[in-house]
């Protein structure tokens, strides 16, 4: 027999720390290859090694943990692989900040010593987020924890690069890329965040060389780039400019001759219909320039300052250059007008610096050959997106994909494994370090750039399982079962894992992609440092417990949709945990004499009902989990546990526990309470692991931990639709009587006379046989009739399905006193209602008040009107 006493108050901090240490020390999270079992594998989206737990991590990892714990309990060979990402830009920035405080730069140390500093930083701070994930309850196999720059993952990165290089899918070329002047590196298109910013549209006159009376007006938001203009393009069907195609314009201030070219890219209806061509500072101009063989003049350097090609503006910051240039154009008479506007400006997703499109020599992956198989895998159903609507988003991006710039101008990361001979200029890619040229024996130098961080995480589903080695884990667990991730990194990560897995493993990396939304603040805004609206999950765990946080994040959550964080919902989740705790205390307090093998009596209606509802709940929860509707699964569990078990069955079981029936009936009630509570906890465990383990351990059970208990399966023999139908009739009747008592202010201790009228024989039979339930739970003396000959005076009534309910009030309450109380309350409410209606009929108020204030007043009017109507109905009972 297990211990039956638990503390009066649930203390999450004591329970959570105790059980997590137990689980991890006993290796309950561990997964070895068991070929006789069906594999279930999830790879954790690796959080940045620089990061700390935020609400997005909390939601993402809670979802993964629920799925893993559920499948583990179902008997799957369940493996959840944890790990972290080296986060090239962010981590290097952290260490450079540290050096700056010490009065040093990375150049003072040199590359090797700087990397030693970064590794030391990683060792000191890199396990912060994994420690925090443990507090959330993440049941990862921590013995298999990976890091994108560990030996195995690094080996995989080198192997992939060299194979792609040898396949001709990696190349190096000058191209327009997104350059961050602050981070001093390129970033990919999908790492650019576009923000609407106030700006100006500048209209500048470019005069014809042949005829100064003829000109083209150019509209631009970035006049500083005109210093790199090499042509002006117009649409070949734009009659306004056809006479100038092939002619030459003069670039204001600079004096450079600019040919007028015709290209279908130009939209005659946009702006002036003519476009200045700056191939070194605009991706569209770059493409047009390559088609027309235009020169590429770079006028902005890597620090965002004007270079020597900018002439007299050399050395100026790009924004200062804009001011001076506009002033000079105005003095020259070339500035036609300036219009205020709002436009999207690209910013670095790491540091929020405005991106500078810049021509530079970079490494790229050819994406079209890799994208085609990845497109087919989604179209033929080998990979499914949940919700399905994200398939279209994924396909749209893949079908319009551009080559991927994979080089970064950093020191921290996987250094590009390409070596250049200093003598014969041979270039070779190698998985092993080369010290001399294989052709001429000359000295070689390795490319100084590192690979985009996403290059290594694209290999995550198979590199973490041991690839390129043929490991038992790779054979058993690949392809993984499901990827759980946010909608915001479908392009960053999901798409890249898909084409990488198909290319190198010849199999899709996962069968399903479960997409969740973002966690927003209560106003629907994205949480950010700049808004100061972030909520620290660790603070929530300290105040409410991890189980409450997890349950709050899951309830109301639907696949793919964003979730608003409300503290009220968090308090509701904590109340639910306390409800489970208090109900469990009650059950255990009545188990001191419990003998699981004792012979009990027959099940009564309440027993048959709750056992049947337990089977339905188990079936529903399992079905919802199979469909990844975790929020619905949590809702079903909440409703069953709180209402049906705690509020109804426990109350219905009390008479048998308190000695008012036979000993056999007490045993039966105990057996049902234990079974329902234990299996409810097992169903709840994936969602709320800590409290369920704490209570389960104190109940009669088999096994060492609830984590490894068998997932409850519906038992056909316990399904009883008849019992469920009968209990619905009774519950509705009891609820209606209780509502009448509350509305009519009947003292709780006073027994009421209740008349239940049911014309249908079946309903009346149910009420007759079980009126003791109504009498006990509604504190009433019950009479059941087929019809009511004469309705009593001063009676409160209600109607449920098949039942009319009458509660005579005479002698039950002081009617005169109640009429006075209701009249006073009605007068107060109608006064408030008149005041609100007066406001809403005042046109001055409607014109001046903010929309949200008006909406609040309308809501208040509705609420007061509803209360007024209800009070009038109650008064009518006494006055008729």
User: What residues are designated binding site for ATP?
Assistant: 529
- CA–CA separation, 703 and 235 (whole Å): 77
Q: Which secondary-structure segment (H or E) carries 337?
A: strand 335-348
The rounded distance, in Å, linking the Cα atoms of 536 and 549 is: 11
CB 40 within 8 A of CB 76: yes
Question: What angle separates helix 721-743 from helix 605-626, to the nearest 10 degrees?
Answer: 100
Tokens at 66, concatenated = 């629920």
Point out which residues pair with 274 in neighbouring strands: 234
Structure tokens at 666: 């007490």
Which residues does residue 275 pair with via DSSP β-bridges, in sequence order? 233
Number of residues that this document lists for the chain: 880
Block residue for tokens 């004096």? 255
**Cα distance between residue 196 and residue 218, in whole Å:** 22
At 306, list the tokens.
Answer: 């004007």
Residue 204 host element (H or E): strand 192-208
* Cα–Cα distance measured from residue 529 to residue 535, given in angstroms and rounded to the nearest whole number: 10
What are the distances in angstroms from CA 196 to CA 340, 346, 354, 457, 469?
13, 9, 12, 30, 48
Closest CA to 289 of 356, 208, 205, 231: 231
Measured distance CA(452)–CA(448) in Å, rounded = 13
- N-to-C CA span, the chain: 61
10 Å CB burial of residue 230 (0-12, 13-18, 19+) is buried
**Helix (H, G, I), strand (E, B), or coil: what is residue 298?**
coil
Question: What is d(CA 231, CA 265) in angstroms, rounded to the nearest whole number?
Answer: 14
- Give the Cβ contact number of residue 803 at 10 Å: 22
Q: Running DSSP on this structure, what letter comes out for residue 639?
A: I
What whole-number distance in Å separates Cα of residue 505 and Cα of residue 163? Answer: 13
Beta partners for residue 84, in sequence order? 147
Instruction: Write the secondary structure of 75-107 as one string of H (helix), E (strand) and C (coil).
Output: CCEEEEECEEECCHHHHHHHHHHHHHHCCCCHH
Interatomic CA distance for residues 626 and 104, integer angstroms: 55
The encoded tokens of residue 458 equal 């694209």
Whether 41 contacts 3, CB under 8 Å: no
Give binding residues as ranges.
529
> DSSP class of residue 201?
E
Cross-strand partners of 77: 39
Nearest 5°: phi and psi at 408? -135, 140
Structural tokens at position 605: 């209606």
Angle between helices 630-638 and 663-684 (to 10 degrees): 160
């Amino acid at each position: 027999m297990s211990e039956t006493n638990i503390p009066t108050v649930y203390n999450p901090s004591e329970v959570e720390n105790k059980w997590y240490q137990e689980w991890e020390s006993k290796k309950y999270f561990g997964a070895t290859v068991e070929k006789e079992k069906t594999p279930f594998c999830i790879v954790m989206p690796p959080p940045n090694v620089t990061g700390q737990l935020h609400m997005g991590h909390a939601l993402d990892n809670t979802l993964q943990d629920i799925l893993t714990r559920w499948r583990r309990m179902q008997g799957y060979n369940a493996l959840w692989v944890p790990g972290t990402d080296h986060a090239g830009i962010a981590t290097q920035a952290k260490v450079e900040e540290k050096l700056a405080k010490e009065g040093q730069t990375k150049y003072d140390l040199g590359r090797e010593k700087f990397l030693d500093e970064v590794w030391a930083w990683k060792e000191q701070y890199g396990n912060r987020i994994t420690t925090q994930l443990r507090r959330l309850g993440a049941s990862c196999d921590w013995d298999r924890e990976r890091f994108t720059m560990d030996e195995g993952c690094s080996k995989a990165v080198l192997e992939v690069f060299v194979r792609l290089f040898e396949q001709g899918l990696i190349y190096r070329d000058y191209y327009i890329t997104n350059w961050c002047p602050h981070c001093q590196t390129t970033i990919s298109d999908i790492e650019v965040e576009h923000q609407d910013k106030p700006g100006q549209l500048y209209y500048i006159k470019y005069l014809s060389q042949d005829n100064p009376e003829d000109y083209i007006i150019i509209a631009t938001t970035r006049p500083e780039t005109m210093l790199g203009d090499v042509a002006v393009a117009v649409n070949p069907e734009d009659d306004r400019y056809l006479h100038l195609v092939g002619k030459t314009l003069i670039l204001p201030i600079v004096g450079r001759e600019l040919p007028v070219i015709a290209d279908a890219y130009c939209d005659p209806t946009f702006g002036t219909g003519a476009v200045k061509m700056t191939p070194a500072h605009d991706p569209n101009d770059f493409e047009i320039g390559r088609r027309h063989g235009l020169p590429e003049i770079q006028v902005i350097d890597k620090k965002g300052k004007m270079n020597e090609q900018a002439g007299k503006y050399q050395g100026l910051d790009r924004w200062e250059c804009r001011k001076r240039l506009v002033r000079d154009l105005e003095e020259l008479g070339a500035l036609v007008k300036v219009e205020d506007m709002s436009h999207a400006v690209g910013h670095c997703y790491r540091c929020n610096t405005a991106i500078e499109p810049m021509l530079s020599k970079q490494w790229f992956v050819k994406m079209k050959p890799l994208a085609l198989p990845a497109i087919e895998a989604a179209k033929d159903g080998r990979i499914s997106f949940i919700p399905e609507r994200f398939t279209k988003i994924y396909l749209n991006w893949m079908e319009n994909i551009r080559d991927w710039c994979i080089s970064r101008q950093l020191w921290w990361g996987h250094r590009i494994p390409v070596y250049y001979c200093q003598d014969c200029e041979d270039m070779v890619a190698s998985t092993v370090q080369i010290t001399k040229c294989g052709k001429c024996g000359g000295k070689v130098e390795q490319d100084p750039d590192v690979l985009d961080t996403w290059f290594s995480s694209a290999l995550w589903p198979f590199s973490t399982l041991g690839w390129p080695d043929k490991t038992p884990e790779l054979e058993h667990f690949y392809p993984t079962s499901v990827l759980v991730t946010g909608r915001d990194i479908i392009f960053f990560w999901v798409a890249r894992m898909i084409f990488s897995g198909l290319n190198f493993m010849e199999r899709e990396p996962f069968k399903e992609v479960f997409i969740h939304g973002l966690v927003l603040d209560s106003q629907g805004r994205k949480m950010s440092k700049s808004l100061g609206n972030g909520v620290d999950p660790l603070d929530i765990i300290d105040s409410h417990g991890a189980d409450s946080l997890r349950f709050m994040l899951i309830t109301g959550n639907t696949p793919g949709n964003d979730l608003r964080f409300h503290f009220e919902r968090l308090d509701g989740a904590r109340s639910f945990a306390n409800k489970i705790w208090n109900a469990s205390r009650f059950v255990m307090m009545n188990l001191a004499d419990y003998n699981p093998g004792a012979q009990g009596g027959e099940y009564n209606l309440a027993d048959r009902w709750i056992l049947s509802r337990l089977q339905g709940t188990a079936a529903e929860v399992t079905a919802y989990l199979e469909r990844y509707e975790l929020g619905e699964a949590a809702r079903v569990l909440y409703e069953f546990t709180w209402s049906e078990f705690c509020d109804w069955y426990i109350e219905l079981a009390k008479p048998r526990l308190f000695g008012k029936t036979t000993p056999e009936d007490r045993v039966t009630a105990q057996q049902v309470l234990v079974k329902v509570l234990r299996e409810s906890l097992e169903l709840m465990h994936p969602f709320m692991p800590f409290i369920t383990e704490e209570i389960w351990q104190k109940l009669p059970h088999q096994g060492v931990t609830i984590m490894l208990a068998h997932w409850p399966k519906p038992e056909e023999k316990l399904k009883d639709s008849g019992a469920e139908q009968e209990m619905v009739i009774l519950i509705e009747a009891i609820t209606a009587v209780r509502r009448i008592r509350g509305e009519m202010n009947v003292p709780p201790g006073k027994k009421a006379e209740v008349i239940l009228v049911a014309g249908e024989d079946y309903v009346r039979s149910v009420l007759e046989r079980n009126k003791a339930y109504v009498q006990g739970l509604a504190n009433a003396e019950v009479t059941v009739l087929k019809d009511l000959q004469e309705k009593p005076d001063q009676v409160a009534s209600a109607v449920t399905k098949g039942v009319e309910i009458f509660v005579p009030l005479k002698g039950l309450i002081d009617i005169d006193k109640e009429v006075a109380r209701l009249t006073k309350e009605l007068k107060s409410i109608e006064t408030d209602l008149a005041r609100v209606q007066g406001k809403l009929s005042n046109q001055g108020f409607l014109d001046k008040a903010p929309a949200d204030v008006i909406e609040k007043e309308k809501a208040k009017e509705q609420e007061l009107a509803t209360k007024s109507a209800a009070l009038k109905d109650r008064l009518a009972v006494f006055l008729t």
